[in-house]
Amino acid sequence: MKKLSLLALAAASAGLAGCVSLLPKSEPVQLYRLSPPAAAAQAGGAPEAARIDVALAPTEFPRAAAGDRILTFTGPEAAYIADARWVAPAQILFVEALDGAFSNQARNVRLQAGRGEHGAPLILDLDVREFAARYDNGANAAPTIVLSMDAKLVRFPDRKLIGERTIRVEQRANENRVRAIVPAYQAAMDQALGELVGWTDATATAGAAAAQR
């Protein structure tokens, strides 16, 4: 009886293994990255020792867009693009690109990580309000990438507001395919970060000049 039970169990296991092998294999998920903006073609800028240190506060990011899935909206309905992911959480990719943008493009400031670290006299507070693809012309049309963020430059340690600005960029994809949507994300981020670096440079420089009067 025991021998029959073992044979039956072996047959069942073999049959189950056969069933698993017959299931269709899932398509691999495609991974996409976002890169820092390229260095700006500009001359001059302050020497490294004379640059104004700006500490980056923890960047706020929409919860639905912060992970590795690519967020879309069709009217009020939110969804994620199937079989596509960012290579890392979008919030991390954004902060890495932000750091690279300042390294490549800033003329008078030097971005530091962490609130108040390294004795930085200024703190950059960022609140990313939207980071998504919007299908405003229907689900089959090419979407528009929307990147919106609020920036504040605060003097430390008295926390005096030096300046604030809202940056909003909209970039339409060339077609409704991931291979076109990701470059539109990149273009929107490049433009938004370029505007942020330029504004921070100008605002920090003006604030430093005013403090010396």
Annotated domain spans of the chain: 48-208
pLDDT tens for 123-132 read: 999 999 999 9
Q: What is the CATH number of domain 48-208?
A: 3.40.50.10610
For the chain, the 3-state helix, strand and coil shares in percent, each to the nearest 5, are 40, 30, 30
Query: How far is the C-alpha of 211 from the C-alpha of 102, rounded, in Å?
Result: 23
pTM of the entire structure? 0.82
Q: Which of 19-33, 42-56, 68-82, 93-107 bottoms out in mean pLDDT, i.e. has the lowest?
A: 19-33
Q: Please report the pLDDT score of residue 43 as a whole number.
A: 46
Of the candidates 146, 131, 148, which has an alpha carbon nearest to the alpha carbon of residue 65? Answer: 131
pLDDT tens for 134-170 read: 999 999 999 999 999 999 999 988 899 999 999 999 9
Determine if residue 208 is left, alpha or beta; phi over 0 gives left, psi from -120 to 50 gives alpha, anything else beta. Answer: alpha
